[in-house]
Amino acid sequence: MVKGYKIDLKGYPVTILKLDEATKEVKEVEDTFKVKESLGQILFMPELKLSIDDAFEHKTLADKIRGTKGDHVILDQSEMDKINKALSLVKSPAENQLEFYRRLKEPEDVELVEEKPKDK
């Protein structure tokens, strides 16, 4: 059995503070946290100090995540390792990001199907 990781990409509701340009008052506004986009972005945190080769690998993973059509993405161990490295460098997360980070730190374990080589 090859272990994989299933990450929930569905957005979730958050409350943010936004300046009302007309009244110049700060107001609470309901919004949706964009999980898929945020997951792609943390793969390029400056703190990762990616080499060019690493950046290309991270881009491939970010493209896979952003291109996912459903509400979940299935990742293998090497892909999760890239995400976990980024997570280890996050400092002072905002409260509305905690659900996002929980999903990344506690993905659902799934079994990956190994592709068998085709006979020629």
List pLDDT tens digits, range 1-53: 789 999 999 999 999 999 988 998 999 999 999 999 999 999 999 999 999 99
- Residue 120 confidence (pLDDT) above 80: no
Instruction: Give a yes or no: residue 68 inside a domain.
Output: yes
- 119 occurs within a structural domain: no
Q: How far, in Å, CA of 5 to CA of 61, rounded?
A: 14
117 domain-assigned: no
**Residue ranges with strand state E in 56-107:** 72-75
Q: Answer whether residue 116 is part of any domain.
A: no
Residue 94 lies in a domain: yes
Give CA separation, 7 vs 10, 19, 36, 102, 108, in Å: 9, 33, 10, 10, 7
- Model confidence, pTM: 0.83
Whole-number pLDDT of residue 118: 67
**pLDDT of 117:** 61
Per-residue pLDDT, 113? 82
Give the residue numbers spanning the domain of 13.
Answer: 2-107
Segment holding 66, helix H or strand E: helix 52-66
Q: Does 11 fall in a domain?
A: yes
Is 113 within a domain? no
The answer to the question of residue 78 being in a domain is yes
Asked if residue 71 has pLDDT above 90, the reply is yes
User: How many domains does the chain divide into?
Assistant: 1
